[in-house]
Amino acid sequence: MTAPARVGESPNRVGGIGRVTGAQRYLADIQLADALHAGLVTLDCARARILGVDASAALALPGVHLVLTAADLPQPVPRFGPQREDRPVLAVGETKYHGEPVALVVADTRELAEQAAALVRVEHEELPAVFTVAGALAADAPLVQDPSLRPDDPLARTNVLREHRAEWGDLEAAVAAAPVVVEQRYTFPMVTHFAIEPHAFMAAPDGDGLAVWSTIQHPNWLQRLIAGLVGMPLSKVRVYAPDPGGAFGGKQHAKYEPALVFAALRLGRPVRLVLTLEETFQAVRRAACESRVRTGFDRDGRILFQDIEADYLIGAYTDIADRVVGKGSYPAAGPYNVPAVRIVARSVLSHTVPSTAFRGFGNPQVNWAVESTLDEGARLLGIDRLDIRLRNLARRGDRFIPFDTPCDGDWAESVRLAAGRIGWGTPLLPGRGRGIAVGIKSGPTTGLSYSIVRLLVDGSVVVYAGTSDMGQGARTVLAQVAAHELGAPLDWVTVVMGDTAMVPYDQQTSASRSTVLMGNAVLNACRHVQRQLAALAAGLHGVDEAEITVDAGLVRLPDGIELTPLEILKPGLGRLGGELTGLGEARKDAEPGHPLGGAPAFFEFNCTVIEAEVDEDTGDVTIDRHITVSDVGKALNPLQVRMQDEGAAIMGLGHTLMEHYLFDEQGRIRNLGAIDYRIPTSMDLPRELHSEAVENADGPGPYGAKGMSEGALLCVAPAVAGAIREATGVTIRDLPLSPERVWRALRDARSEGPAGGVER
């Protein structure tokens, strides 16, 4: 045994060896004997009426077993979804977006399934469709969802799925009184998760039950969904969720698992489907957003009101998108004390890929607009952009959003740290500019995680946790917590995840919750084990159990003697052996009166400062320095915290500088796949990327930790745009800030001259 592991250290990643040797089994690496392969049948347009499906040519191919269409499913065709059950297992009547499967072909090989899918003739008639906010809101717009799917909904005859309002203070009075008002519009494009592991699924009959494999983040949610769809008890549906190869929110909820389950049950054999990257682009994306922000200031730069309207372009089915809109827009007024606020955010349906959760969960879209507007206000007022933020920032305990979680950090400390690192206010090299932005995101509003921890007789530990380790490092952090509490070396701890037949319930892996919620569940399970250790020690040493303390892996007797768990376990458990088993729970109940169903467990706060230069001949933006500071409470594993922070920052550079879906007039995505949709590579990084964590041990997680995996993405776009503005005098309000867009903006500014708003 090596020395016990401690929290606050950065040991090598648990599961890392398999990841550097190729031994790690991702879903697509798991081969089941006798498995058949599925392929998707899709149309080359967005919305079309399905007039008929002729599968005869496909079925005539030797080795093709099944062409499953909506007609082969239980009627009415089951619909599902985490928020509204509106997505059919396969398209019913009409396709709603480019890439929606009309049928599932099952064959002996993947290649044969693809060939057969191409032979399925779908007679169809293309229908008018909407792909933009303006198109969807037009008076004569075709409805994306049939009103029958929206009973008792006054908006059912529109493409507005829901309007979310958050209001406090007297907005009208504030507008009337504000000496300075800035109003602007901003757009944020559709972008996609682009996890390097495309989504993959398998389903197989399993004795008198069913086994489902998925790259999903929420295996327990999937288990409930499938059990409900096929009418089996939960105990007969076993979901295997191998560690996803990146997820970023895109793998939270089911996509094609239900179709695969029906195919596997029909054929009595395992069926697998590994999506191509192109198919994954057609399965998950972030909502685009058009925002109008009106901000009022007093002469000292104090924000008097925020009046925000945001139209999020969600897709054809709800998935979790409307929750993204509601929760993401709720803190849109930012981490500031603002006396009067009106936020109106709408979920706008369209004939596009259903948008879903994506790192940042609806906040980056509005933060881009609100922080950029703040910059414009500062410029008008002649106030420094750092100062105006510090002047308005909420302080610890401030109820900056009424009835919500109060400010839970020393946020100004993060801002000052970030500004200091870049030398805010110091002279710039010619052609360069700086930008600054802050952002918050609400953590989980409800949650429930269970964990079982077994302390084995030799002092080694097995932790059962239903969290998905999709790269964020949950497996390592949870192992560190158990090792720390039970005095074991890290490599004596095994963390079992991703199997609903083995691992107790966990609500989900989302909202940067796992260190806090599952971390507390593991901690509580360890405490349960510690109580049993204390009882054993009391018996062995003839002392009162209440006088024994167990902490950080040491058992302390009343006389001051310290023993390791091992010194208690062997004699205490005796000849028959055995083990100590702890059960832990972490629960955050719903608050029915709260607009979000609950106040967040914590806020993720980030400040990002950018120094950039612009090549005025090409429009190319180079990020010279990118400083990100996140308030993390306590870094249980500082290296992993830094990597999550940097990863979020780099992902933010993607939507800021290069990423967006392009559509043609038929709603087809023109840049499907890795050639035409670019994400940051090793050549696109800031010259200097610097991540720091503020640690005040003020979070609700173990040892004061907060969740922190999304914050650094919130501020990238406004900070980069602010730097471009300072470098060139040009303000751009549409993303991405691609060379073409920047070059055009510079050209337009030059042709308009100084009257066009250019200040050099």
Partner 1 sequence: MPTMTMPISLAVNGIPRVARVAAHHTLLEVLRDDLALTGTKECCLVGECGACTVMVDGRVVDSCLVLAVEADGADVVTVEGLAGRDGRLSALQGAFLDKGAVQCGFCIPGQLMAAHALLAQHPHPTQAEIEEGLAGNLCRCGCYEQIFDAVRAASDAAPETLETPAARAARTAGGARAGARTSDEGLDQ
Contact string (CB under 8 A) for partner 1, positions 452-491, x = contact: ------------------xxxx------------------
Told to check if 26 binds partner 1 by CB under 8 A, we report yes
Q: Verify binding: residue 218, partner 1, rule CB under 8 A.
A: no
In degrees, to the nearest 5, what angle opens at C-alpha 729 toward C-alphas 724 and 730?
70
Q: Which residue's CB is nearer to partner 1, number 447 or number 654?
A: 654
Name the nearest CA neighbour of 194 among 544, 583, 660.
Answer: 660
Site string for partner 1, 77-116 (x = CB under 8 A): -----------------------------------x--x-
CA distance from start to end of the chain:
65
Using only the alpha carbons of the chain, give its radius of gyration: 27
3-state DSSP assignment of residue 207: coil
Nearest-angstrom CA–CA distance, 159 and 200: 31
Considering the rule CB under 8 A, would residue 21 count as an interface residue with partner 1? yes
Q: Which residue has the tokens 């969802």?
A: 145
The Cα–Cα gap between 333 and 581 comes to 47
**CA atoms of 170 and 339, how far apart (whole Å):** 8
Window 557-576: residues binding partner 1 (CB under 8 A): none
Instruction: Assess contact for 315 and 349: CB atoms under 8 A.
Output: yes
In angstroms, give the least distance from the CB of 116 to partner 1: 10
CB atoms within 10 A of CB 396: 14
CB of 349 to partner 1, least distance (A): 28
- Among the listed ranges 9-17, 129-137, 370-378, 399-407, the one in contact with partner 1 (CB under 8 A) is 9-17
Q: Which distant-in-sequence residues (6+ apart) come within 8 Å of 659 by Cβ?
A: 189, 191, 192, 677, 678, 679, 736
What angle is formed at CA 338 by the lines to CA 336 and CA 339, rounded to 5 degrees? 155
Q: What is the dihedral of CA 723, 678, 472, 247, to 10 degrees?
A: 130
Q: Which is nearer to partner 1, 20 or 561 (CB)?
A: 20
Among 16, 209, 597, 739, binds partner 1 (CB under 8 A): 16
Question: If we measure between CA atoms, which residue out of 474, 515, 479 comes closest to residue 494?
Answer: 479
- How many residues sit in the footprint of partner 1 (CB under 8 A)? 59
- Asked if residue 32 binds partner 1 (CB under 8 A), the reply is no
Whether residue 166 contacts residue 285, with contact meaning beta carbons closer than 8 Å, is answered with no
Pick 3 or 139: Cβ nearer partner 1: 3
Q: Which is nearer to partner 1, 129 or 477 (CB)?
A: 477
* CB nearer partner 1, residue 145 or residue 738: 738
Residues 6+ apart with CB under 8 A from 494: 460, 461, 462, 463
Minimum distance of partner 1 from residue 395's CB (angstroms)? 32
The least CB distance from residue 267 to partner 1, in Å, is: 20
Least Å distance, CB 239 to partner 1, is 19
Select the residue interacting with partner 1 from 97, 213, 240, 248 (CB under 8 A). Answer: 248
Q: Which is nearer to partner 1, 245 or 619 (CB)?
A: 245
Tokens of 746: 């510079």
Residue 321's identity, in one-letter code, is A
Residue from 31, 56, 549, 618 in contact with partner 1 (CB under 8 A): 31
112 versus 481: smaller Cβ distance to partner 1: 112
650 binds partner 1 per the rule CB under 8 A = yes
For residue 88, give the 3-state DSSP assignment: strand
Residue 666 touching partner 1 (CB under 8 A): no
The residues, any chain, with a CB within 8 Å of residue 748's CB and separated by 6 or more, are 756
662 binds partner 1 (CB under 8 A): no
Q: Which of residues 115-144 bind partner 1 (CB under 8 A)?
A: 115
- Using DSSP bridges, classify how beta strands 103-107 and 579-588 pair: parallel, antiparallel or unpaired: unpaired
- Figure out which of the listed residues 92, 117, 174, 195 binds partner 1, where binding follows CB under 8 A: 195
18 binds partner 1 (CB under 8 A): yes
- Alpha carbons 453 and 523: distance in angstroms, whole number: 9
Residues that bind partner 1 (CB under 8 A): 10, 12-13, 15-26, 28-29, 31, 61, 112, 115, 193-198, 243-248, 274, 276-277, 470-473, 639-640, 643, 646-651, 673-675, 679-683, 685, 689
